[in-house]
Amino acid sequence: MAISRLGDNMAFEYINKNGDRKPKIKPNIENLSNFKKDFNWEEVFEEIPWLPGGGLNNAYVCIDSHVDSGNGNNVAMIWNGKNDEEETYTFNDLKVHTDKFANVLKELGVCKGDRVFVFMDRLPECYISVFGGLKIGAIVGPLFSAFGPDPVKDRMVDSEAKILVTQPELRKKIEGIIPDLPDLEKIIVVNKNNRTDDPLVDDDLSYEDLMSSTIPIESIENTSQYDYSIMHYTSGTTGKPKGALHRHQSIVQQYATGKWALDFQKDDIYWCTADPGWVTGTSYGMFAPWSSGITQIIYEGGFSASKWYSVIEKYNVNVWYTAPTAIRMLMKAGEAPIKKNDLSSLRFIASVGEPLNPEAVVWGNENYGMPIHDNWWQTETGAIMCANLSSMQIRPGSMGLPIPGIELAILDKDLKRLPPNEPGILAVKPGWPSQFFAYWKNDERYNSRFKRGWYITGDEAFMDEDGYFWFQGRSDDVINTAGHLVSPFEVESALIEHKAVAEAGVIGIPDKLAMEVVKAFVSLNNGFEWSKELRLELMKFSRGKLSSAVAPRDIDYVEIMPKTRSGKIMRRLLKARELGLPEGDTSTLEDD
């Protein structure tokens, strides 16, 4: 197989169901010519000479490399369970566990390129499963444990996942969809600390039994920088979420940005509050810190201001990476819980996922004695792209400057560069090391993100005279609620499965804490009438299918769903009406 160079894939390759790279069936000629015109890929992307034997595996970099260099006794992870259990894992320990789990997968017939999904709370076994999967060359798909059955089904069906690693309560939650997963071969169940009495159902396999009866894998699968590693489903405006696929080489940028944007230093204790079901929880809750060999705190529980501060105090956290919604909740909790804890170990705080309001930066200064460093990136970018670096003066409210080597631009609708201070499309010059490689089996969508030699982010921003970028909003209908992107289509699809619902339109409405919350509008089938009871029933129905993180916070009735003449629901109009804003151009509105 010819080795592709970084970036070629955009024009030439797709991935078949076995995970092999194949020529694209329908190359996007327009994009192709643009790429060729703007870039000389051969010149830009030389083979990276320093990779041992040309090979690269994230699990080797994050775990085995520390063992090989004599640092295996350093602590990699301290886990604080929700029942206040505590477990400490050195890099040596992680090597043993992940070598064994890789062998478990091998014995189950998992091959390079197979999809292994991990649907688990923040348990040590979640991390072991991910890295064990990477060691065997699998494409690992971590799933947010708060998801309901529908999002799990959509992702596992689309990716044709072969193995699911989960825990008893989550297995139970998605019981109904298991028969709908035709490619699923085995379910491995982790019964952490025997929390569940009777953990196994049907043909499920016990993680603990498998691990106690296996031996460490002989060697890590022969992967290169071009092989696939992690897959995260992310929301778009149309259709169900898409599987953004990353390659092992992403770690180059994750490692560098861990140092530049998160200020990682030797012997640091680091806490990333993000869940591994989202990209921050893998890129910066696994790859960046462990490629740097620092210690991570994994806290299983959810948000609580006093508990969070006590975690910082107890473990002497130096670097803390969190999100604006959490910071706003901490601001709401006020000074009292801060005063009860000694937070003097903190040296650096950063935030991502949503706009960080300038007041939060200032509040950090006043209450933690240091500012909060905002940075910007996406599932597709794989690593931080723009940041208030540790070395520079913060501009409160700004996402900072592009990371060295990254070119960002603000474009007008003809994709021409705009001068400073003019808002427009935020775009990235393709070819950054952690660039996503594909949307799983969705070349068309993938190609649509690249135009005239730019990757179009879907965000709007402006750049000031000094090159700092300022977020303005999204240019699509995707909803950002508490840092989680929600596809309106996914919520609409769940709602119309209820017998009363004829059509559903879903929008994000502003919220003080979560930035946006999901609101749905439904029209009803004949024979159904809108009532308080029906509203509650629909709320419960959608929560059961989706999870409370994704389901609508509110549902309202519309007699006639506004649609374009081509039948597309006009979410923009629903939103304008809801917020009392001008309705804009309604010329494509369907006649009643």
Q: Which residues bind ligand PRX (CB under 6 A)?
A: 234, 278-280, 352-355, 374-379, 399, 457-459, 471, 474, 480, 485
Question: Whose CB is nearest to ligand PRX?
Answer: 379
Q: What are the backbone dihedrals phi and psi of residue 508, each rounded to the nearest 5 degrees, phi first?
A: -105, 135
Note the maximum CA span of the chain.
73
Q: Report the residue number, 376 or 468, with the smaller CB distance to ligand PRX.
A: 376
- Residue 355 CB, nearest approach to ligand PRX (Å): 4
In 10 A of CB 146, how many CB atoms? Answer: 18
Residue 151: alpha-carbon gap to chain centroid: 14
Q: Which is nearer to ligand PRX, 474 or 571 (CB)?
A: 474
Residue with Cβ nearer ligand PRX (65 or 475): 475
Q: How many CA atoms lie within 13 A of 333 on its CB side?
A: 19
126, 120 contact by CB (below 8 A):
yes
Nearest Cα to 542, choosing from 476, 493, 478, 482?
493
In single-letter form, the type of residue at position 190 comes to V
Least distance from ligand PRX to the Cβ atom of residue 324, Å: 8
Provide the minimum distance between the beta carbon of 438 and ligand PRX in the complex, in angstroms, as a whole number: 15
Which is closer to ligand PRX, CB of 142 or CB of 355?
A: 355
Burial classification of residue 373, based on how many CB atoms lie within 10 Å of its CB (0-12 exposed, 13-18 middle, 19 or more buried): buried
CB of 378 to ligand PRX, least distance (A): 4
Per the CB < 8 A criterion, the answer to whether 333 and 308 are in contact is: no
Shorter beta-carbon distance to ligand PRX: residue 72 or 353: 353
Residue 104 or 245: which CB sits closer to ligand PRX?
Answer: 245
Name which of 474 and 545 has its Cβ closer to ligand PRX.
474
Task: Supply the minimum distance, in Å, between the C-beta of residue 284 and ligand PRX.
Answer: 9
> Least separation, in Å, of the C-beta of 550 and ligand PRX?
13
Residue 92, CA distances (Å) to 193, 217, 266, 327 in order: 21, 15, 18, 35
Distance, first Cα to last Cα, the chain:
57
Q: How far apart are CB 515 and ligand PRX at their closest, in Å?
A: 9
Please state, in angstroms and rounded to a whole number, the distance separating the CA atoms of residues 117 and 94.
19
Tell the smallest beta-carbon distance from residue 351 to ligand PRX (Å).
7
Helical segments of 108-239, H only: 124-135, 149-159, 168-173, 207-212
Shortest Å, Cβ 488 to ligand PRX = 15
Q: What is the chain's Cα-based Rg?
A: 24
Compare residues 353 and 508 and give the one whose CB is closer to ligand PRX: 353
Nearest to 377 by CA among 326, 436, 329: 436
Closest to ligand PRX by CB, 55 or 458: 458
Q: Do residues 250 and 235 make contact, with C-beta atoms less than 8 angstroms apart?
A: no
* Closer residue to ligand PRX, CB minimum distance, 150 or 516: 516
At residue 240, what is the residue type?
K
CA separation for the pair 24, 15 (Å, rounded)? 8
**Kind and range of the H or E run holding 439:** strand 438-439
Min dist CB 230 to ligand PRX, Å, is 13
Q: CB within 8 A of 373, min separation 6: which ones?
A: 261, 348, 349, 350, 351, 387, 388, 389, 390, 394, 400
Q: Which is nearer to ligand PRX, 80 or 480 (CB)?
A: 480
Minimum distance of ligand PRX from residue 386's CB (angstroms):
8
